[in-house]
Amino acid sequence: TKRVFSGIQPSGGLTLGNYLGAVKRFVEMQAEDYETIYCMVDLHAITVPQEPKKLAHNTRELCAFFIASGIDPEKSILFNQSQVPEHTQLGWIFNCVARMGWMNRMTQFKDKAGKNRENASVGLFSYPALMAADILLYHATHVPVGDDQKQHLELTRDVAAKFNHDFGVEFFPITEPVIQGPATRVMSFRDGSKKMSKSDPSDMSRINMTDDADMIAQKIRKARTDPDALPSEQKGLEGRAEAANLVNIYAALSDQSVDQVLSDVGGKQFSEFKPMLADLAVEKLAPIADEMSRLMQDTHEIDAILARGAERARGVAAPILKRTYEIVGMVGA
């Protein structure tokens, strides 16, 4: 079987980057020939401080986002990481497989720890070992993610290969990253060299999945661009990061290739293109925001979906963890 696993942190403030780089792809893969497993990775979120009430709210809101975007909790397994303790258990084994040197090379740790590395949590440092566990606990073969997760997925492959080699088994699969489509790296509206991110201090730098139609339109209208008209071919976007970003977003939202979009809009000024993009973004995103807020009115239903998802996830995970323990030599496994 081809099995997909991916996760998103319930760390608050879901962005258009999370939608186009991740969840939209999750929905597409759910419709294809895959078994799909999607997770709210709350154990990852607490590698940086989280306010407990907000963490709980953000976890439910993330679940609502998945469902509002088109994840069907009957078709896909949709669950919260901490409700499946096997993640932590396999995560520990992988802490003992992964090497300090591998972790030291992770650019996300360097970015998130910042200058004061001594003060970062140990969990933030060993994050990629837990992420490897999330994926390999299900023997997932494909992992759809945004471009920023590439390095962590390489580490997941290294963990699988080292475990298999050290214990002389062919147990964990070597996972394929799925980084596809025109929006694998959605950039900030204020600075085309920076990833669109929830932690950017400027709210104008991003579209939040909870923004209303006016806010979406305003942010697109004010997005930074250059003064030139749009080119009619992709190579005309070289060196024009902000322009490329808006075209990529248009392509992703309209399910077209960048070439298709440019053949329509080439020659237009941004004054004409931005309102087109704003209309499209509102048309695609506003229904998701509406459905999210509707779902959030009944958190019991969300909690029931998560409980059921966790049960199904454990059904897959428990035998794989048990076999891992046996391979490692743990008595009573």
- Is 112 catalytic? The answer is yes
Q: Residues 220-259 vs ligand AQP: string with x where CB under 6 A? A: ----------------------------------------
Residue 126 annotated as part of some ligand binding site: no
Give the C-alpha separation, 144 to 22, whole Å. 7
| Interaction residues for ligand AQP, span 105-164 (CB under 6 A) | 145-146, 148-149
Contacts of 298 (CB under 8 A, 6+ apart): none
By CB under 6 A, name the one of 68, 71, 90, 196 that touches ligand AQP.
Answer: 196
The residue among 192 and 309 lying less far from ligand AQP, judged by its C-beta, is 192
- Say if CB 84 and CB 307 are below 8 A apart: no
Query: If binding means CB under 6 A, how many residues of this protein chain bind ligand AQP?
Result: 20
Q: What is the DSSP letter of 187?
A: B
Half-sphere exposure of 101 (CA within 13 A, CB side): 1
Q: What is the DSSP letter of 180?
A: -
Residue 186 annotated as part of some ligand binding site: yes
Instruction: Compute the least distance from the CB of residue 60 to ligand AQP, in Å.
Output: 16
Residue 146 annotated as part of some ligand binding site: yes
Instruction: Compute the least distance from the CB of residue 330 to ligand AQP, in Å.
Output: 31
Catalytic choice (54, 150, 162, 198): 198
Nearest Cα to 113, choosing from 201, 194, 47? Answer: 47
Q: Residues 14-53 vs ligand AQP: string with x where CB under 6 A? A: -x-xx--xx-------------------------------
Sheet of strand 3-8: strand arrangement:
77-80, 35-40, 3-8, 142-144, 176-178
Q: What is the DSSP letter of 175?
A: P
Give the C-alpha separation, 248 to 20, whole Å. 10
- Is 195 catalytic? The answer is yes
Nearest Cα to 186, choosing from 56, 285, 265? Answer: 285
Residue 203 annotated as part of some ligand binding site: no
Instruction: Compute the least distance from the CB of residue 130 to ligand AQP, in Å.
Output: 12
Catalytic choice (24, 195, 219, 274): 195
Contacts of 270 (CB under 8 A, 6+ apart): 225, 230, 243, 246
By CB under 6 A, name the one of 57, 139, 162, 185 that touches ligand AQP.
Answer: 185
- Say if CB 30 and CB 36 are below 8 A apart: yes
Q: What is the DSSP letter of 222?
A: H
Q: Which residues are annotated as a binding site for L-tryptophan?
A: 134
Residues that bind ligand AQP (CB under 6 A): 8-9, 11, 15, 17-18, 21-22, 145-146, 148-149, 184-186, 195-199
Q: Which residues are annotated as a binding site for ATP?
A: 9-11, 17-18, 146-148, 186, 195-199
Catalytic residues: 112, 195, 198
